[in-house]
């Protein structure tokens, strides 16, 4: 009996050593950790991904899961160089965030050529699942088409037909207004005008005055992070609201809290997650708050769900080849924190219902985290670009 015990102990130790000897499975996150978008993604999304890894048990296929993190400084060349180093030197197995559409576009070709699964949660350009779609790409949460469509349609139906956009002077901003110009005329709306401002702008007075002078019924704030918070606060200071309706595009709870309910009240915005949506979202958000000291936003929650689904696919495939993993992600049922009927389409777009929220007035809020009231649920088929209009070469027509 003692000999058997010694043998079993030796086998157990050998297995442990074998697992320790296996190379780690590396997930790469390239994001803004120090600038205008850091609060929207940054450390919060890194914490959410770490939660996904922990909940999965910390390893897959006998390999310890490691999260690589780096700051792209909102510069596509920096993001591309980081991705290249991670592929060539670090041997990264998958990219799980490349925040900022310009950076995502710069990294996309590198991920495709090296056959690395490429998760997109916070980048918004709809081209990523349109003409630039790829067998290794999964666009998890929102995109520019949805951000326009899920806001414009319900508000236009309520009589708010004329729109002015304040957008970042970047690929994302141009994609946003391109979609708005296409969609608005088809539903009886009017694209009145736009002003593009550099990322990191502190003074939105000129753009806001142009929007105010346009007479548009709706002013759409197209930036995110600190840019959005500043624009919202200054719109209230200049008296644009409530005379003109504010609509968020990539605005999340982080920006609303940053601007304050006094300034943001009444603003309409589409989201794919809110902490108080259901029992599942509330339970997970409580855990996130215990870990980070704050409530999660849609980017954080989306990354948790996306990485969890990725790890399930890697386990099922038994490897990390990007095309095989993403193909398996299409087959496996999606368990999202807020979407009950989500599915991964052939162009890489996750089809999910979208929630249209209105920001509460201070008197309506029960506390600092109670910021939204649900106005409508927009079905996935009415929120995202239909396949019949897709430019994705992977789509069979």
Distance CA 170, CA 184 (A): 21
The arithmetic mean of pLDDT across residues 35-59, rounded, is: 92
pLDDT of residue 11 exceeding 50, the answer is no
Claim to verify: residue 306 and residue 369 sit in the same structural domain: no
pLDDT of residue 54 exceeding 80, the answer is yes
The predicted pLDDT at position 77 comes to 94
Give the percent of the chain with pLDDT over 90. 76
Q: State whether the Cα torsion 233-237-240-245 is positive or negative.
A: positive
The predicted pLDDT at position 36 comes to 75
Question: Can you give the length of the chain in residues?
Answer: 397
The arithmetic mean of pLDDT across residues 189-193, rounded, is: 95
pLDDT of residue 81 exceeding 50, the answer is yes
Q: How confident is the model at residue 16 (pLDDT cuts 50, 70, 90)?
A: very low
**Position 228 in a domain:** yes
The arithmetic mean of pLDDT across residues 195-205, rounded, is: 89
Residue whose entry in the numeric block shows the structure tokens 């992070």 = 225
Q: How confident is the model at residue 259 (pLDDT cuts 50, 70, 90)?
A: very high
Phi and psi dihedrals of 139, rounded to 5? -100, 105
CA atoms within 13 A on the CB side of 93: 23
The predicted pLDDT at position 194 comes to 95
pLDDT of residue 377 exceeding 80, the answer is yes
**Position 336 in a domain:** yes
pLDDT of residue 123 exceeding 80, the answer is yes
Claim to verify: residue 38 and residue 132 sit in the same structural domain: yes
**Predicted model pTM:** 0.90
The predicted pLDDT at position 46 comes to 97
The predicted pLDDT at position 397 comes to 66
pLDDT of residue 17 exceeding 70, the answer is no
pLDDT of residue 122 exceeding 60, the answer is yes
The predicted pLDDT at position 14 comes to 44
The predicted pLDDT at position 175 comes to 83
Comparing CA positions, the residue from 177, 197, 199 lying closest to residue 103 is 199
**Position 6 in a domain:** no
Claim to verify: residue 170 and residue 218 sit in the same structural domain: yes
Give the percent of the chain with pLDDT over 70. 95
What tens digit of pLDDT does each residue of 238-255 get?
Answer: 898 888 999 998 888 988
The predicted pLDDT at position 251 comes to 86
Expressed as residue numbers, the domain containing 330 is 24-142+279-352
Q: % helix / strand / coil in the chain, to the nearest 5?
A: 45, 20, 35
Q: DSSP letter string over 322-369?
A: HHHHHHHHHHSPP--SS-SS-EE-TTSBEE--EEEEEEPPGGG-SSTT
**Position 393 in a domain:** no
Claim to verify: residue 29 and residue 109 sit in the same structural domain: yes
Q: Who has greater pLDDT, 274 or 9? A: 274
Claim to verify: residue 161 and residue 207 sit in the same structural domain: yes
Q: Structure tokens of 155?
A: 């508000």
Distance CA 381, CA 384 (A): 6
pLDDT of residue 9 exceeding 60, the answer is no
The predicted pLDDT at position 7 comes to 38
**Position 306 in a domain:** yes
Claim to verify: residue 152 and residue 219 sit in the same structural domain: yes
User: How many domains is the chain partitioned into structurally?
Assistant: 2
Mean pLDDT score across all residues of the chain = 91
Q: Structure tokens of 154?
A: 């319900």
CATH number at 173 reads 3.40.50.2300
The predicted pLDDT at position 184 comes to 93
Q: Who has greater pLDDT, 351 or 34? A: 351
What tens digit of pLDDT does each residue of 62-71 get?
Answer: 999 999 999 9
What tens digit of pLDDT does each residue of 137-165 get?
Answer: 999 999 989 988 999 999 999 999 999 99
The predicted pLDDT at position 357 comes to 96
What tens digit of pLDDT does each residue of 316-340 get?
Answer: 999 999 999 999 999 999 999 998 8
Claim to verify: residue 42 and residue 99 sit in the same structural domain: yes
pLDDT of residue 226 exceeding 90, the answer is no
The predicted pLDDT at position 20 comes to 55
Claim to verify: residue 215 and residue 301 sit in the same structural domain: no
The predicted pLDDT at position 8 comes to 36
Claim to verify: residue 329 and residue 208 sit in the same structural domain: no
**Position 149 in a domain:** yes
**Position 125 in a domain:** yes
Distance CA 284, CA 224 (A): 24
Claim to verify: residue 124 and residue 85 sit in the same structural domain: yes
The arithmetic mean of pLDDT across residues 8-27, rounded, is: 61
**Position 388 in a domain:** no
Q: DSSP letter string over 256-310?
A: HHHH-HHHHTT-EEEES--TTSSHHHHHHHHHHHHHHSS---HHHHHHHHHHHHH
Claim to verify: residue 346 and residue 234 sit in the same structural domain: no
Q: How confident is the model at residue 35 (pLDDT cuts 50, 70, 90)?
A: confident
The predicted pLDDT at position 38 comes to 79
Claim to verify: residue 42 and residue 188 sit in the same structural domain: no
């Amino acid at each position: 009996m003692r000999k058997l015990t010694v043998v079993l102990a030796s086998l157990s130790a050998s297995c442990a050593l074998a697992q320790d000897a296996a190379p780690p499975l590396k997930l790469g996150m390239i994001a803004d950790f120090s600038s205008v978008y850091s609060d929207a993604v940054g450390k919060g999304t890194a914490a959410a991904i770490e939660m996904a890894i922990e909940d999965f048990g910390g390893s897959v296929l006998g390999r310890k899961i490691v999260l690589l993190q780096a700051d792209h400084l909102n510069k596509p060349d920096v993001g591309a160089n980081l991705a290249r180093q991670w592929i060539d030197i670090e041997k990264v197995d998958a990219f799980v965030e490349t925040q900022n559409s310009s950076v995502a576009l710069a990294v996309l070709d590198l991920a495709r050529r090296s056959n690395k699964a490429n998760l997109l949660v916070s980048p918004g350009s709809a081209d990523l699942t349109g003409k630039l779609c790829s067998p290794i790409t999964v666009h998890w949460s929102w995109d520019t088409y949805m951000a326009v469509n899920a806001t414009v349609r319900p508000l236009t139906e309520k009589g708010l037909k004329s729109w002015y956009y304040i957008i970042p002077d970047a690929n994302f901003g141009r994609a946003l207004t391109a979609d708005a110009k296409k969609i608005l005329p088809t539903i009886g709306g009017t694209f009145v005008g736009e002003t593009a401002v550099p990322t990191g702008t502190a003074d939105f007075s000129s753009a806001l005055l142009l929007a105010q002078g346009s007479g548009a019924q709706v002013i759409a704030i197209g930036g995110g992070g600190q840019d959005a918070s500043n624009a919202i606060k200054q719109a209230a200071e200049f008296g644009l609201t409530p005379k003109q309706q504010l609509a968020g595009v990539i605005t999340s709870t982080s920006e609303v809290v940053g601007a304050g309910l006094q300034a943001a009240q009444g603003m309409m915005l589409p989201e794919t997650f809110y902490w108080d949506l259901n029992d599942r979202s509330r339970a997970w958000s409580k855990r996130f708050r215990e870990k980070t000291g704050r409530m999660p936003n849609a980017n954080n929650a989306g990354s948790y769900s996306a990485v969890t689904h990725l790890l399930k696919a890697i386990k099922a495939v038994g490897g990390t080849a990007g095309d095989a993993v993403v193909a398996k992600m299409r087959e496996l049922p999606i368990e999202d924190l807020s979407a009950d009927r989500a599915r991964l389409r052939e162009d890489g777009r996750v089809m999910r219902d979208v929630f249209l929220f209105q920001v509460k007035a201070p008197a309506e809020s029960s506390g600092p985290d109670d910021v939204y009231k649900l106005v409508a649920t927009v079905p996935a088929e009415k929120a995202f670009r239909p396949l019949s209009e897709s430019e994705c070469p992977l789509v069979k027509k």
